[in-house]
Amino acid sequence: MNKKLSEEELIELLRTGEQSSFTYLYDNYSAAIYGVVLRIIEDEEAAADVLQETFIKIWKNFSMYDSSKGRLFTWMINIARNMAIDKMRSKYFKQDSKNLDIEDSVGLVHEHVQTVFNPEHIGLKQMVQKMKPEFSAILELVYFNGFTQAETAKELDIPLGTVKTRMRNAIIELREFIK
């Protein structure tokens, strides 16, 4: 599949279960999704594993995607972000990350600086910065720093319900920017 597909065309192909549509999806979205995962996990090997697991989950659960609730890319990023956070919280990952050699850590930091997903490339960071401070603070913590909503509530010293409400309103406002 060499031609450029619109999001709607890609969604229709994915719904048919055609293998070439999944290849197209991976070829066109994996770099951006890997950047998001790597920013949360900060370990290239673990990020690559989470990327593969993310695409498997996307493929197996594509029937659950609802275009009326958001764009395909947003849906995939949320899956990747959640999987990366789950990986970070896993007991195995925590134990394994404590056992890195210092030489490996220096190499990872150097490589990470060169390969981090930069939301400025798609203008998302600028959109978030233009939002009300109470929205941008929450989006910064949750989407760019990998905080959960509960962690965000604790960090900002506000009730969890307030975080959820502001998060929802911020996403609605972001959708308006993107239209």
| pLDDT tens digits, one per residue of 106-124 | 555 545 444 444 444 456 7
What domains are defined for the chain? 1-117 (1.10.1740.10), 119-179 (1.10.10.10)
pLDDT at position 101 over 60: no
pLDDT digits (tens, 9 = 90+) for 120-162: 445 677 778 888 888 888 888 887 777 888 888 998 999 999 9
User: What percentage of residues in the chain have a pLDDT greater than 90?
Assistant: 21
Nearest by Cα to 128 from 155, 92, 167, 78 = 167
How far apart are alpha carbons 21 and 177 in whole angstroms? 29
Q: What is the CA radius of gyration of the chain?
A: 17
Q: Is the dihedral of CA 65, 132, 35, 39 positive or negative?
A: negative
80 vs 103: which has the higher pLDDT = 80
Distance (Å, rounded) from C-alpha 38 to C-alpha 129?
22
DSSP state at residue 119: G
Contact 21, 13 (CB under 8 A): yes
Block residue for tokens 């619109």 = 6
Which pLDDT tens digit goes with each residue over 27-51? Answer: 888 999 998 898 888 888 999 999 9
Confidence at 2, pLDDT banded by 50, 70, 90: low
User: What residue type is 83 in one-letter code?
Assistant: M
